[in-house]
Amino acid sequence: MPAMSSSLAIRISRGFFRPAVMAGILCIAAVPTGGVAVEPEAGPAASGAPADKGNSFRGVAFGTPLAKVQPLWQLEPLSDDATQGSPLKLFIRNDETKNLGGITLQEIVYYFFEESFYAVEIFTTDGSQTEILRQAADIAFGGRPHVNKEGNSFVWLGKNASMQLNANPATGDGRALIFNNDLQAKYERFSVEAAKKAASEF
């Protein structure tokens, strides 16, 4: 898998419906694929591909202020006392349709960084739904994904938006993160500065 730009890097560590997010390198737990076909060749997303050109999810553009999204979606915060005051806020929708085209989903989590719509995390129900999502990403991003040597991590890199997909080895259910590249770069800078500040107090 070709090396990726650090500006597109993100690391997600998440408990079910209790997400905790840390920046670093693009890495969701490395696991073998469960019912997900592996494309051995990698290719960049095509310029002007639908997902990259749209730079949005469910008709709402990445970068839209939280205050403008709240009247459109019934958002419920996913946070606890430990994350209060963080510039990164996670939500689910009470009015969510757990379906994407014909893909059945377990849940969708919406990420806002500094009050702007930053990313969305999608959870599928089984291997067949994960495979359909992978094929949909090929179409939406206009090219084959970058695949790691284990064949378990699929990454579509676009000019405006990018996506990573991983699958559970036992069940085949998948998790995909679709994110805005510019906001990811801002989040990574924030995370690095926060880490430096914390390190200075060791």
Dist CA 72 CA 81 (whole Å): 26
Give the pLDDT confidence score for residue 44 in this predicted structure: 52
Q: Beta strand 116-124 with 60-61: parallel, antiparallel or unpaired?
A: unpaired
Q: Across residues 47-52, what is the average pLDDT?
A: 67
pLDDT band at residue 201 using 50, 70 and 90 as cut-offs = very high
pLDDT band at residue 121 using 50, 70 and 90 as cut-offs = very high
Structurally, how many domains does the chain consist of?
1
- Of 3-12, 87-96, 113-122, 165-174, where does mean pLDDT reach its minimum? 3-12
What is the residue range of 24's domain?
6-199
Q: Is residue 185 part of a domain?
A: yes
Percent of the chain with pLDDT over 90: 55
Q: Is residue 1 part of a domain?
A: no
Amino acid of residue 185: A
- Of 49-58, 119-128, 172-181, where does mean pLDDT reach its minimum? 49-58
- Give Cβ neighbours of residue 111 (< 8 Å, ≥ 6 apart): 21, 88, 89, 90, 117, 118, 119, 120, 121, 179
pLDDT band at residue 185 using 50, 70 and 90 as cut-offs = very high
Q: Is residue 139 part of a domain?
A: yes
Amino acid of residue 112: F
| 172 in Cβ contact with 126 (< 8 Å) | yes
Q: Across residues 78-101, what is the average pLDDT?
A: 83
The distance of Cα 24 from the centroid of its chain, to the nearest Å, equals: 14
- Of 10-14, 53-57, 144-148, 196-200, where does mean pLDDT reach its minimum? 10-14
Give the pLDDT confidence score for residue 48 in this predicted structure: 58
